[in-house]
Amino acid sequence: MKRAFVIGHPIAHSRSPLIHGHWIREHGVNGSYEAIDVAPDALPAFIDRVRAGEFAGGNVTIPHKEAVFALADSRDPLAVRIGAANTLVHRRDGLFAFNTDYMGFLGNLDQNAPGWDEGLDTVIVLGAGGAARAILVALAARGVKTIHLLNRTIAKAETLAADLGPPLVAGALDDFNRHAPTAGLVVNCASVGMHGTRFEGVDLSLLPKSAVVTDIVYVPLETPLLADARARGLRTVDGLGMLLHQAVPGFEAWFGIRPVVTPELRRLIEATL
Ligand code: NAP
């Protein structure tokens, strides 16, 4: 039997066991996926168990993403650019680390806003925290020409833009309205939207009618930003799809079957929000 895991500290809140458990049942896989609470000082010993072959691999969440990246034997080049890993695979030549957040972000848009990147020149990304890095690398990999990275704390956007380089341009949240008329996509990576919070002064009416607005916050499923965008007739994509799609590459790597994000899976997870 192949075993997979999600480790974090704490870990009880993780929805990953539900997602992978659904696919294990759906495909009749002889495998398991379990949530394991691993405190930071216990991480090296746990990684030794994975290296020894006890698990096919697993997911890694806060606070272990950077540490696991450093402990792995080899790394996917895009994970190197992101500087963090969320997925481990046990291989004959050692532990391989990759980052599926960027694949989840792209998979969600590809499924729910087909054609979103055709002729896409300019993107506005709101927020420059941990989650933003994977999304910025994903957008750059799709050939976006300009990414305006706008953050409440401008210095953080500037540091991230300097680190990742072109096509990133750092700015303040107040710059949104100036860039909106040329933006084909708006991505919210800030925690604004949780508990019904909203951005002040962000005028979605300035966006082109063809613009897509997506939020990676998924509680609530429809954030005030997405509700405003939908009310203006813009295409919207919620953040739950990113969570579901980021699980696909890991499942495939451990169990050898590429699962599909179906409406049934979505309903299962939606019921837990
Ligand atoms: P983080 O590292 O703590 O970053 C938070 C970001 O939000 C920072 O840019 C911060 O700006 C900004 N922010 C917080 N409060 C703000 C406010 N009142 N006004 C303006 N900006 C504000 O968090 P993270 O790990 O990047 O996660 C961000 C969100 O993404 C979380 O809600 C998380 O649940 C969600 N997420 C979703 C997925 C998914 O699969 N859908 C994956 C990962 C994360 P400052 O720099 O100024 O503090």
Q: Quote the mean pLDDT of the chain.
A: 96
What number is the average pLDDT over the span 227-236? 98
What number is the average pLDDT over the span 206-231? 97
Quick check: is 65 catalytic?
A: yes
Q: pLDDT for 78-97, tens place per residue? A: 999 998 899 999 999 999 99
Three-state secondary-structure class, residue 86: coil
With both helix axes pointing from N to C terminus, report the angle between 101-112 and 130-141 in degrees, rounded to the nearest 10: 60
The band of 227, judged by pLDDT with boundaries at 50, 70 and 90, is very high
What number is the average pLDDT over the span 185-208? 95
Distance 190 CA to ligand 1 centre (A): 3
Q: Atom 32 in ligand 1: which residue has the minimum CA distance? A: 191
What number is the average pLDDT over the span 101-108? 96
How much is the pLDDT for 176? 98
Whole-number percent of the chain with pLDDT over 70: 100
Q: Residue 68 is encoded by which pair of tokens?
A: 């696991």
Place of tokens 């050692």: 94
More confident residue, 130 or 35: 35
**Pocket of ligand 1, candidates 105, 149, 191: which has the most ligand atoms within 8 Å of its Cβ, to mutate?**
191
Among the listed residues 204, 180, 185, 125, the one whose alpha carbon sits nearest the alpha carbon of residue 157: 125
Q: Atom 33 in ligand 1: which residue has the minimum CA distance? A: 217
Distance 186 CA to ligand 1 centre (A): 15
Instruction: For ligand 1, say whether the CB of 269 is within 6 Å of any of its atoms.
Output: no
**From CA 90, how far away is CA 61, in angstroms rounded?**
17
How much is the pLDDT for 195? 86
How much is the pLDDT for 119? 94
How much is the pLDDT for 97? 97
How much is the pLDDT for 196? 85
Report whether the peptide linkage leading into residue 259 is cis, meaning its omega lies within 30 degrees of zero: no
- 154 and 171 Cβ atoms separated by less than 8 Å: yes
- 95 and 67 Cβ atoms separated by less than 8 Å: no
Q: Residue 132 is encoded by which pair of tokens?
A: 């933003």
267 C-beta neighbours (distance < 10 Å), count: 9
Q: Flag whether pLDDT at 243 surpasses 90.
A: yes
181 C-beta neighbours (distance < 10 Å), count: 11
Distance 168 CA to ligand 1 centre (A): 18
pTM of the model: 0.94
Q: pLDDT for 9-29, tens place per residue? A: 999 999 999 999 999 999 999
